[in-house]
Amino acid sequence: MTTEYIAAPGTPELELETPALVIDIDVAESNIERLQQWGRDNNMDIRPHSKTHKTPFFARKQIEAGAIGVCCAKVGEAEVMVAAGIKDIMITNQIIGEQKLRRLASLAGEANLVVAVESEGNTRQMSEIMTAAGVEIGVIVEVNTGMNRCGTAPGEETIVLSKMIDALPGLRYDGMMGYEGHVVANRDEAERRAGALASATTLVDTAEQTRAAGLDVKIVSAAGTGTYNITGKVDGITDLQCGSYIFMDGDYLGVFDDFDPALSVLTTVISVQDGYVVTDTGKKSISEDRGLPDVVEPSGGTVVSLSEEHCKIEVTGDAAKLRVGDRVRLRPTHGDTTINMHSHYFLIRDGKLETALEISGRGRVR
């Protein structure tokens, strides 16, 4: 018995069962190529964040296009990547606790793994566990360059932790990262530029001070999609961690159109009422943490609310002609959190399903 209907390749897009997370694969491939081309033109390495797509399939496409590896947020995501043969991984989050560090050690035996740290206790425990497992892991310091989330203070605190990493067995000191998440989606170009330059300069300055203290700082990694072309032009930054660029989402389309939208959620009208329709997607299949979804097709629809499994859309123009059973295409304002709710991508080329692709890293939050 099938537990979920997965359409066969060749099925027309509009015949897919809904809600369906659909990807225009030509657009996704062109976004991958566009960032890589920018990297080649500007002598900048690209290390895309795979927490957006959560699948080895897309990581492989990014690496084949020239990426030097991928970033992951969690050990569980990295396990999925390594099992599928992706061997260059940077974990941009702190991995805390003995059990997770043991899992990290077993991955470090199979792949070139680099992980971010910010505290002494975590670093010492990591060294002990790597040494006991007989492996070495690459370590970078996460520096707080202005987002005020995680990270060491720039300057002295970063240098002290860097020296400690360099001296501990089982750890290979690789450098540092700083993510300017507080400005990546700023709509004001001048503010985004000023914020990203301030963060990147802070990071590069700390890297220079750390070199002056005698350490070999190989990695100086930063940037999200909205700052790729600002941070990526700062001398001393070695690679960019952009994630959302691959599919774009409603939030980033409000920032710029450097990359094109590849991701949408196809839904079906289940009820037609006076002035509005209701479709079969809700908070369990499209996220609203960055605002309600946009109606892409037909024109004239505005999402006004989401329940768990209902989406209420006010209709004018073409949308006012919608009937029960018709399809409505929505674009999530936040791709990453929407993708994590789905079991499959439906990859569409020329209006037809090419592949139903399992999102093997979704839900791997541990």
Ligand X SMILES: Cc1ncc(COP(=O)(O)O)c(C=O)c1O
Residues 28, 264: Cα–Cα separation, whole Å: 12
User: Given candidates 19, 56, 243, 282, which one binds ligand X under the rule CB under 6 A?
Assistant: 243
Using the contact rule CB under 6 A, the part of the chain among 16-24, 35-43, 238-246, 320-328 near ligand X is: 238-246
Give, as ranges, the residues between 261 and 280 that touch ligand X (CB under 6 A). Answer: none
User: Given candidates 18, 50, 92, 145, which one binds ligand X under the rule CB under 6 A?
Assistant: 92
Please report which residue ranges of 172-308 form alpha helices under DSSP H. Answer: 189-212, 228-231, 250-253
User: Given candidates 224, 232, 301, 361, which one binds ligand X under the rule CB under 6 A?
Assistant: 224
Q: Tell me if 38 contacts ligand X by CB under 6 A.
A: no
Using the contact rule CB under 6 A, the part of the chain among 29-37, 82-90, 192-200, 243-251 near ligand X is: 243-251
User: Given candidates 244, 264, 285, 338, which one binds ligand X under the rule CB under 6 A?
Assistant: 244
Residue whose CB is nearest to ligand X in the complex, by number: 224
Token pair 């929407």 is found at 338
Residue pair 223/231 in contact (Cβ under 8 Å)? The answer is yes
User: Given candidates 241, 268, 285, 338, which one binds ligand X under the rule CB under 6 A?
Assistant: 241
> Taking CB under 6 A as the rule, which mask of x and - marks residues 193-212 in contact with ligand X?
--------------------
Q: Please, which residue, 51 or 312, has the CB nearer to ligand X?
A: 51
Applying CB under 6 A, the site for ligand X has a residue count of 13
Strand-strand pairing, 112-117 and 137-142:
parallel
Q: Please, which residue, 15 or 188, has the CB nearer to ligand X?
A: 188
Q: Residue 33: is it exposed, middle or buried by C-beta count within 10 angstroms (0-12/13-18/19+)?
A: middle
Using the contact rule CB under 6 A, the part of the chain among 12-20, 131-139, 178-186, 196-204 near ligand X is: 178-186
What residues have CB less than 8 Å from 2, skipping those under 6 apart? none
Q: Please, which residue, 13 or 239, has the CB nearer to ligand X?
A: 239
What's the closest the beta carbon of residue 185 comes to ligand X, in angstroms?
Answer: 7
What's the closest the beta carbon of residue 340 comes to ligand X, in angstroms?
Answer: 13
Residues 267, 125: Cα–Cα separation, whole Å: 48
Using alpha carbons, list the distances in angstroms from residue 59 to 67, 189, 204, 300: 9, 29, 27, 36
Query: Got the DSSP string for 84-151?
Result: TT--EEEEEEE--SHHHHHHHHHHHTTSEEEEEE--HHHHHHHHHHHHHHT--EEEEEEB-SSS-SS-
The DSSP 8-state label assigned to residue 12 in this structure reads B
Token pair 């100086």 is found at 220
Peptide bond into 298 cis (omega under 30): yes
How many CB atoms are located within 10 Å of the residue 9 CB?
A: 11
What's the closest the beta carbon of residue 270 comes to ligand X, in angstroms?
Answer: 32
User: Given candidates 19, 25, 47, 49, which one binds ligand X under the rule CB under 6 A?
Assistant: 49
Q: Tell me if 145 contacts ligand X by CB under 6 A.
A: no
User: Given candidates 78, 159, 242, 311, which one binds ligand X under the rule CB under 6 A?
Assistant: 242
Q: Tell me if 179 contacts ligand X by CB under 6 A.
A: yes
Q: Tell me if 181 contacts ligand X by CB under 6 A.
A: yes
Question: What tokens were used for 267?
Answer: 């839904």
User: Given candidates 62, 225, 231, 264, which one binds ligand X under the rule CB under 6 A?
Assistant: 225
How many CB atoms are located within 10 Å of the residue 91 CB?
A: 22
Instruction: List residues near ligand X by CB under 6 A.
Output: 49, 52, 92, 179, 181, 184, 224-225, 241-245
